[in-house]
Structure 1
Amino acid sequence: MVVRLSRHRLLALFCGVLAALTLATPAIATPTQVGAVRSDAAAGWLARQLVDGERFEAVFGGVAYPDQGLTLDAVFAFAAGGVAEDFGARALAWVTRPDVRDGYLGDGVTEAYAGATAKLALAVAVRGGDSTDMGGVDLIARLRSLQSPGGRFTDRSAWGDFSNAFSQSFAILALDRTAHGVPAAAAGWLAGTRCPDGGFPLLPAQPVCVSDVDATAIAVQALRAAGRRADAAAGLRWLVSVQRADGGFTNADGVANANSTGLAAQALRDGGRSLAWARARVFLAGLQIGCAGPVADRGAVDFDGGLFDSSTATRATAQALLGLTGTGYARLSTTTATTGAPTLPCH
């Protein structure tokens, strides 16, 4: 049982916000967005999908495992949408529960994951909490302990190092909210991974540097937060150069989808590329289930516009919300958020 849980934790950490799970049989329904996009309805739909109103789960081999990463994506999405404040509070309370937290972060001694630690620290800060004392755990101190002299944040685990552009970027975004700020070496290391075309790879030090939309989207936000505007600008130019005519962005498999487009749109708006953001937003709006769709699906954002699949729509909706509102990770806050799970107004 311990081995299976560890493998799941590593898989969830590596996938993080990168990919949507495709585990359930698709229902027969297609995106039928009508009228203006409703980010509040998207957040409301996402909130109603939480198990017991507090968490998401991943199912492997018929067994449900906690999905802390996706649950934190929902926390960010609710903050971006400015609604479902009560759901966001319960979701973060669940992730920070000691058994759930340690199953995600590791024990901090023999096992510690940089990306998970940084993502949780950022979520706590977004919701106005204290990342230095989360149930007796100083997330910031633990995160800093995972930084190498060269500036890279890496995992400490017998299972290997799964750190990547998301780990580094979330670490920078989390530390940017602390009194000591971002270590120059950390921002410098991330900037140094940039590919010749201006984009950023998911994994560094590969034989061929291949820019990735998702990795570039979060890297430019982290670099902007750290004051590395020129490095971020190169990444933003690359994002604009690979945007499709319909406003969408493709993943590594070449599929235009809500996840990659949502992250890219967030980065574009945060980086001042308003026209490109508006085009991406139109693409995302076209994937939202509108009033012609089944009542239970209304407000959700479909992964790629094919047959609607709720198992992929949860992550797609969470990441699409970031792009629909355009609020960057560095500016997310729940200060003015309201409670409740809004529904799509249909007459």
Structure 2
Amino acid sequence: MVVRLSRHRLPALLCGMLAALTLVTPAAAAPVPAGAVRADAAAGWLARHLVDGERFEAVFDGVAYPDQGLALDAVFAFAAADVADDFGARALAWVTRPDVRDGYVGDGVTEAYAGATAKLALAVAVRGGDPTDVGGVDLIARLRSLQSPGGRFADLSAWGDFSNAFSQSFAILALNRSAQGVPAVAAEWLAGTRCPDGGYPLLPAQPVCVSEVDATAVAVQALRAAGRWADAAAGLGWLVSVQRADGGFTNADGTANANSTGLAAQALRAGGRPLAWARARVFLAGLQVGCAAPVVDRGAVDFDGGVFDPATATRATAQAVLGLTGTGYAELSRATATTGAPTFPCH
């Protein structure tokens, strides 16, 4: 999920998930046999598809644009799977390079993006770094400066405010790891966006409150981190209620996919819903590419189980790893991660 938009990445975001990130020829996904799912191999595939071993890019009209958000998703996936720690270090080093960093979070003067700032701060903390000093930038202080008196974290930009449920949730998750902790008003604001059915919308204050799987999955993790147990429980209950019979979850257009299911599965396990998590994990396992596929594709998690598309598989795999392991954002750590990019075992 993209958490903010800026002029630096507008062309790339227009092409979204369809951007061609590799030159691998699409082939039919060959599902992994039941019980053989490998989160480590999925993370290994993701690591091997980093451009120059450090970054992801989106290509639009022949121009490659940096995709810092996807690189951070990979950092989270490597920590969740406890592998590819060397790749995680390089990916974070790339995102925190001043020119790359400021193209993502803003310069802090004319532009500052709450969701991007929060996501980067969380990734730095997950890798054991100090978010208050990222190349001389205090991401925690900047994030707090973007909070309104009412508790909402909003963007500072001439291009508008693109903050949403992800921005608020990542802000809470990042601040939960800071010395000052989470401002109560921030969690209260997020809880106040809840829809009547118990889920959470991507955008607040709409004429009709529509719960979304991805937004709810991240919001309940943030609310639990902030101690808002009842508000999180309502969201978890809604997730269980919309889970498909096959264990999967759909996005806004009704497509059951690895991205939404991965985030929902992560939230369900972290939120103490093991049976629903197990069902979601079975669905994700069915999307993992196995030994019948070309070697270059093995271990990846396909977006929806159709014709394998590496352009969508990168983000799908990154978020699927979170669901396969079930490690919540609040618990992620690279402390025990090993180096290297595991491959899918085929005999």
Please tell me the TM-score bracket, short chain as reference.
over 0.9
Instruction: Provide the rounded CA distance (Å) in 1 between the counterparts of 2:46 and 2:79.
Output: 12
Task: Measure how far apart 1:10 and its partner are.
Answer: 5.2
Instruction: Provide the rounded CA distance (Å) in 1 between the counterparts of 2:208 and 2:247.
Output: 27
Instruction: Provide the rounded CA distance (Å) in 2 between the counterparts of 1:142 and 1:302.
Output: 37
What letter is aligned with 2:29?
A: T
Task: Measure how far apart 1:33 and its partner are.
Answer: 1.1
Contact in 2 for aligned 1:20/1:312 (Cα 8 Å): no
Instruction: Provide the rounded CA distance (Å) in 1 between the counterparts of 2:17 and 2:295.
Output: 23
Task: Measure how far apart 1:331 and its partner are.
Answer: 0.1
CA-to-aligned-CA distance 1:263-310 (integer Å, 9 cap, x gap) = 000000000000000000000000000111111100000000000000
Contact in 1 for aligned 2:27/2:293 (Cα 8 Å): no
**Further displaced range: 146-155 or 34-43:** 34-43
Instruction: Provide the rounded CA distance (Å) in 2 between the counterparts of 1:289 and 1:30.
Output: 6
Helix, strand or coil at the partner of 2:17: coil
Find the counterpart in structure 2 of residue 29 from structure 1: 28
Instruction: Provide the rounded CA distance (Å) in 2 between the counterparts of 1:23 and 1:51.
Output: 14
Contact in 1 for aligned 2:30/2:291 (Cα 8 Å): no
**Further displaced range: 19-28 or 39-48:** 19-28
Contact in 1 for aligned 2:8/2:103 (Cα 8 Å): no
CA-to-aligned-CA distance 1:209-259 (integer Å, 9 cap, x gap) = 000000000000000000000000000000000000000000000000000
Find the counterpart in structure 2 of residue 346 from structure 1: 346
Find the counterpart in structure 2 of residue 298 from structure 1: 298
Find the counterpart in structure 2 of residue 41 from structure 1: 41
Find the counterpart in structure 2 of residue 112 from structure 1: 112
Q: CA RMSD, aligned part only?
A: 1.6
Instruction: Provide the rounded CA distance (Å) in 2 between the counterparts of 1:33 and 1:224.
Output: 33
Question: Unmatched 5+ residue regions in structure 2?
Answer: none
TM-score under structure 1 length normalisation = 0.95
Closer, same or farther: CA 10–160 of 1 in aligned 2, 3 Å: farther
Contact in 2 for aligned 1:47/1:53 (Cα 8 Å): yes
Find the counterpart in structure 1 of residue 74 from structure 2: 74
Find the counterpart in structure 1 of residue 53 from structure 2: 53
Closer, same or farther: CA 11–333 of 1 in aligned 2, 3 Å: farther
Helix, strand or coil at the partner of 2:9: helix
How many pairs were matched up?
339
Contact in 2 for aligned 1:20/1:315 (Cα 8 Å): no
What letter is aligned with 2:32?
A: Q
Closer, same or farther: CA 20–61 of 1 in aligned 2, 3 Å: closer
Contact in 2 for aligned 1:258/1:317 (Cα 8 Å): yes
Find the counterpart in structure 2 of residue 255 from structure 1: 255
CA-to-aligned-CA distance 1:179-229 (integer Å, 9 cap, x gap) = 110000000000000000000000000000000000000000000000000
Task: Measure how far apart 1:29 and its partner are.
Answer: 1.7
Contact in 2 for aligned 1:31/1:302 (Cα 8 Å): no
Instruction: Provide the rounded CA distance (Å) in 1 between the counterparts of 2:54 and 2:334.
Output: 17
Q: How does 1:206-285 map to 2 (within 5 A)?
A: 206-285=206-285
Segments of 4+ moved more than 4 angstroms: none
TM-score under structure 2 length normalisation = 0.95
Instruction: Provide the rounded CA distance (Å) in 2 between the counterparts of 1:204 and 1:32.
Output: 38
Instruction: Provide the rounded CA distance (Å) in 1 between the counterparts of 2:93 and 2:125.
Output: 13
Contact in 2 for aligned 1:20/1:316 (Cα 8 Å): no
Question: Unmatched 5+ residue regions in structure 1?
Answer: none
Contact in 2 for aligned 1:218/1:263 (Cα 8 Å): yes
Find the counterpart in structure 2 of residue 165 from structure 1: 165
Task: Measure how far apart 1:342 and its partner are.
Answer: 0.3
Helix, strand or coil at the partner of 1:65: strand
Closer, same or farther: CA 78–339 of 1 in aligned 2, 3 Å: same
Instruction: Provide the rounded CA distance (Å) in 2 between the counterparts of 1:205 and 1:32.
Output: 41
Instruction: Provide the rounded CA distance (Å) in 2 between the counterparts of 1:229 and 1:104.
Output: 32
Find the counterpart in structure 2 of residue 143 from structure 1: 143
Task: Measure how far apart 1:156 and its partner are.
Answer: 0.2
Task: Measure how far apart 1:22 and its partner are.
Answer: 1.4
CA-to-aligned-CA distance 1:30-63 (integer Å, 9 cap, x gap) = 2321241000000000000000000000111110
Instruction: Provide the rounded CA distance (Å) in 1 between the counterparts of 2:272 and 2:311.
Output: 33
**Does 2:286 correspond to 1:286?**
yes
Instruction: Provide the rounded CA distance (Å) in 2 between the counterparts of 1:106 and 1:322.
Output: 27
Helix, strand or coil at the partner of 1:194: coil
Instruction: Provide the rounded CA distance (Å) in 2 between the counterparts of 1:301 and 1:20.
Output: 18
CA-to-aligned-CA distance 1:102-143 (integer Å, 9 cap, x gap) = 000111011000000000000000000000000000000000
Instruction: Provide the rounded CA distance (Å) in 2 between the counterparts of 1:186 and 1:32.
Output: 42
Helix, strand or coil at the partner of 2:128: coil
